[in-house]
Structure 1
Amino acid sequence: MMSASRGRFAALVAATALTALCTFGAGTAANAAPAAAPATTPTATSVEGELNSYVVNANKANPGQVRKVENAVVAAGGVVVQTWPEIGVIVAHSTSATFRQDVVKAGKNSIESVGATRTTPVTEGTPAGVQAPWGPGASSWKGQVKPSNGDIDAPTTPATTTDPREKDQWDMTMIGADKAHAVTDGSRNLLVGVLDSGIDPDHPDLQANISIADSVNCGDAGRPDSSATGWYPTTSDHGTHVAGTIAAARNGVGITGVAPNVRLASVKVVNDGGFIYPEYAVCGFMWAAERGMDITNNSYYVDPWMFLCDDDADQAASYEAVRRAVAWSQSRGVLNVAALGNAGLDVSQVNTDDSSPNDTDPIARTVDPKTCHKAPADVDGVVTVTSVTSTKALSYFSNRGLGEADVAAPGSSILSTIVNNNGWGTKSGTSMASPHVTGVLALMKSVHPDWSNAKLTQKLFDDATATPCSAPQANYGPACVGDTEYNSYYGHGIVNALAAVQ
């Protein structure tokens, strides 16, 4: 696992190194609201002349336009690594220092934007088997795979007994999940995508619920790798912990998840260095759409920038690619949940960032919350989550903000599944809060399978336990703003699993 100064998977609490969303405690941004929205400071964002990865966004998502962009990539000295024709996004590699300018010139008005996705050379190299001019999936117009139609690898019938460590799951009691289980443990027809670092394939609390056919590794330069072990965790058990909160099975061992009978897909979007680059996230959302997933959990922000700003060409192109992928997944019925982050910021008012880029040396820069975005949390339709403690106070590390926080959920010292010895351990972060919300939505959709995502989301907000502003402690960060019904700490309130299934 990488150090706390690199990547967003930094240790937060407990005796052993634990992982959670965002770099914590290093290089956090200032919280004071500016008198006037400042301009974002453009930054250099690539290693010119070395192998780098780019997203090239076509003006239109149609076969002819996409083909022009693919040809332009090759003409500019690049290699098409992956094309997502449904959204007009092409992932390219190039060692040319002038690739951006050259591809736009060769594209002849077919390109909306192009940008480097990282500030360090591509560590995985250009994947083997990619042939110029067109990579896998390019202009196939059929997607990578067909939906699995609900194939289940190891169906189980939930037991009516409690699991031995449920007594330690204060978080489930807080949100009423224990009472909700008297109504439903979730439907086997429901498939939840865990876009994360992989899920332990033989953990006794998870194995029965993992859909192998729907699992994938997107960390190979943003191409979907569905090989037998590609989606396994390697350097982080973050995804395994997240998965346990969502759907650890009720099976007489360990813990019980919020929705212990739903199926899980391991969608690995984290590379071995701990980074989630834009092309990885795009692949994850597109895979979720093509596999017919119902809900995805996203306990991360897209690297290497905490905020992707409109007036930086690279960052703007990266955000647009992720935005298109999220929107496509939503158009295919996927409901996406995201953690809001662990920098202790009011992200509606932040004006500086000195923690990015996190794959090379961070630089101090000015940001404007109106034109700088968190991916995927800022994309329309994504449910965003803050973290609370066992006393219902906002976790000190949790990001917050009016118009940014949708709901809150337990995220401090959460007991869940870990890889080490196929065991259980505690972690803290909004990464741990988000899967509670994902699980609640899974229970809700299990009892209301025909409801639209908009209706499910509205019920989630309406049923949340309205929570008034809590007083900030020393070094707590920005104070709470708003009223009991909606505020910057809790959004619409703390999620309520029991109400969700009634």
Structure 2
Amino acid sequence: MPASSRARRVGSVAVVAAVTAALSAAASLPSTAATAPVAAHQVSHTPVAQVTPADWEEGLRSYFVLTDPADVEAAKKAVVDNGGTVFAAYDKIGVVVAHAKGEKFADAVRGAAGVQAVGATRTSDVPKEAYDPQIPQAPTQQEPSEDETVQWDMEQIRADEAWEVTTGSPDVTVGVLDTGVDDQHAELKDNFDASKSASCAYGKLDDREGSWRDTGSHGTHVAGTIAAAKNGKGVVGVAPGVKIASVRIAEEPTGLFFPENTVCAFMFAGDKKFDVTNNSYYVDPWQFTCPDDEDQAAILEGVKRAVQYARNQGVLSVAAAGNSNYDLAHKTTDSSSPNDSTPITDRPITNACLDIPTELPGVVTVAATGDSDLKSSYSNYGAGKIDVAAPGGDPGNQDQGVYSTVPGGKFGYKAGTSMASPHVAGVAALLASVHPDASPAKLTALLRKQAQDLPCPEDDRCTGGDAVNSFYGEGQVDAAEAVG
């Protein structure tokens, strides 16, 4: 997929500049230049039949089969009885991931007893890699050579002042749900928790050592903004004292984040009791997922259940608002979906169609600002849609990009709401550190309370015709206020 298209999908718009000689294009953004045993994850789903490369065949499609948790076994039987395979199952939320061939599968299973909904999770075939997932190669590391300096984005949210009070607690874990994380990066390895890291690419948990490594650079950049070490070298994250974990949900070779991958990741986050997750992407293949379509309705419900499961386990989810300069409160058309096949030009949509996970209940939605405290030109917005804002940078100006870690021990600039969201996840981690018993609802309230109001510029879209600030929500996060 062209870099510009993938950048818009994942939530970051462009790398502003390369800062080391070895930097190269990768992942969802043009960018400057992704290990240890983990525990098995069988809390939220029952084991299913193991698949091998020989089980894959051309023309397989992936489906959500939704049911009441009490009827999961009946739903699995309906899948098998109609020629499908149960690829994964999340019994506690009643979500079965099925693979099958043929146009009649979905309709046949929809008619089975106990089945609430069935929907295709992608408009393309299941890739062969789903049956033979490879562990991403570990990059060669180089030691940071530059002295640590406070970046403009950290000064803008007063993180440097917050560190005088606390850098965050090691008892707090932020899960990076993304392209993976380079856990051997000198700025990340001491804060990385391998016991809470895995891959959910292709829709089934892979907890082999190294499965969580970055397949691009996006996730490593996000991780550095959250918790890069305060060690006198390179960069510093918002909460350098907390732990980070990686749940890779991006597939190879497409780099897409499909619904079954996302459900797996949120279930894992809940089972591992993360305090916060960062979600700098939207769930492919639909930029806006609509409930009036049978397939998309099943996607909406399946992902919603997984997000709610994680929230019920005490996980606060933070997500990027998106990079289309789109008014989320007044949706009209979408020309970018589905992005795994041929997009539909000017597909009519309504406000019932949601950008997920960012528009799901309980998720903190983050808009991006530049170093002038103004909404970044690309950032989505919308009255009643944005919770808070944070620095996302300017893709046209190197000095106004967000500078963070990239694989191989290197550093680079990126810009986007993908870069804004981890600032908020970092502040949420600081709040969780000073309020260890706070629920996700309480942390959300604290995030809103500590934010510094940003007035609307002279732009009619900001007020939306009423008193609501549609650009910044409650304002820009303030780390010093959060810990003070």
- TM-score bin (small chain): 0.7 to 0.9
- Which secondary structure state, in structure 2, belongs to the residue aligned with residue 364 of structure 1? coil
Aligned match of 2:351: 370
Aligned match of 2:66: 57
**Taking structure 1 as reference, are residues 115 and 222 closer, same or farther at Cα in structure 2, changes over 3 Å only?**
same
Check whether the contact 2:117–2:298 (CA below 8 A) recurs between aligned residues.
yes
Aligned match of 2:3: 3
* Aligned with 1:75 (options 76, 81, 103): 81
Counting only pairs closer than 5 Å after superposition, residues 67-466 of structure 1 correspond to structure 2 as 67-105=73-111, 107-108=112-113, 110-124=114-128, 127=131, 164-167=147-150, 169-219=151-201, 221-234=202-215, 236-272=216-252, 273-412=254-393, 413-419=401-407, 421-466=408-453
Q: How far is the alpha carbon of 1:239 from its aligned partner? A: 0.2
Letter in 1 for 2:409: N
- Which secondary structure state, in structure 1, belongs to the residue aligned with residue 4 of structure 2? coil
**For 1:125 and 1:245, how far apart are their aligned partners in 2?**
30
**For 1:20 and 1:183, how far apart are their aligned partners in 2?**
36
Check whether the contact 1:400–1:488 (CA below 8 A) recurs between aligned residues.
yes
Bigger share in helix: 2
* CA offset digits 1:137-182 (Å, max 9, x no partner): xxxxxxxxxxxxxxxxxxxxxxxxxx93323x10111111110111
- Which secondary structure state, in structure 1, belongs to the residue aligned with residue 269 of structure 2? helix
% of aligned pairs identical?
45
**Taking structure 1 as reference, are residues 482 and 176 closer, same or farther at Cα in structure 2, changes over 3 Å only?**
farther
* CA offset digits 1:113-149 (Å, max 9, x no partner): 11111111111355369xxxxxxxxxxxxxxxxxxxx
Check whether the contact 2:451–2:477 (CA below 8 A) recurs between aligned residues.
yes
Check whether the contact 1:468–1:485 (CA below 8 A) recurs between aligned residues.
no
**For 1:494 and 1:376, how far apart are their aligned partners in 2?**
21
**For 1:299 and 1:248, how far apart are their aligned partners in 2?**
17
Runs of 4 or more consecutive aligned structure 1 residues displaced over 6 Å after TM superposition: 17-23
Aligned match of 1:497: 479
Gaps of 5+ in 1: 24-48, 130-162, 473-477
Q: How far is the alpha carbon of 1:471 from its aligned partner? A: 3.3
- Which secondary structure state, in structure 2, belongs to the residue aligned with residue 435 of structure 1? helix
* 338-347 vs 482-491, which moves further: 482-491
Check whether the contact 2:174–2:276 (CA below 8 A) recurs between aligned residues.
yes
TM-score (norm 1): 0.82
* CA offset digits 1:224-277 (Å, max 9, x no partner): 10101111112x110000000000011221111000011111100111211000
**Taking structure 1 as reference, are residues 486 and 456 closer, same or farther at Cα in structure 2, changes over 3 Å only?**
farther
**For 1:499 and 1:164, how far apart are their aligned partners in 2?**
27
Tell me the number of residue pairs that the alignment of Structure 1 and Structure 2 aligns: 430
**Taking structure 1 as reference, are residues 321 and 298 closer, same or farther at Cα in structure 2, changes over 3 Å only?**
same
Gaps of 5+ in 2: 19-23, 31-57, 134-145, 394-400
- Which secondary structure state, in structure 1, belongs to the residue aligned with residue 438 of structure 2? coil
Check whether the contact 1:73–1:80 (CA below 8 A) recurs between aligned residues.
yes
Letter in 2 for 1:245: T
